[in-house]
């Protein structure tokens, strides 16, 4: 996945998590925030090695 597509995906997960948190769906928002954190941290080792 290219960096641009990954940034769009992480942004969409973050916005969905915030929307679900505001709506009161705390379990779903927690899962979305965890997925956002996981996908945003996956790109860091690639940047450090290059």
CA–CA dist 50, 48 (Å, integer): 6
**pLDDT tens per residue across span 7-23:** 888 888 888 888 888 88
* 17 C-beta neighbours (distance < 10 Å), count: 21
Q: How far apart are CA 23 and CA 43, in angstroms?
A: 30
Question: What are the phi and psi torsion angles at 24 (to 5°)?
Answer: 95, 5
Token readout for 26 is 């705390």
pLDDT, average across residues 29-34: 87
- What per-residue confidence (pLDDT) applies to 13? 84
Give pLDDT, residue 44.
Answer: 56
Q: What percent of the chain stands above pLDDT 90?
A: 0
Q: Mean pLDDT for the chain?
A: 79
Q: Determine the Cα–Cα distance for residues 30 and 45; give it in Å rounded to an integer.
A: 24
């Amino acid at each position: 996945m290219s960096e641009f597509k990954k940034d769009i995906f992480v942004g969409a997960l973050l916005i969905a998590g915030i929307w679900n948190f505001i709506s009161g769906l705390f379990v779903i928002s927690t899962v979305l925030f965890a997925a956002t954190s996981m996908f945003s941290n996956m790109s860091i080792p690639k940047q450090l090695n290059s």
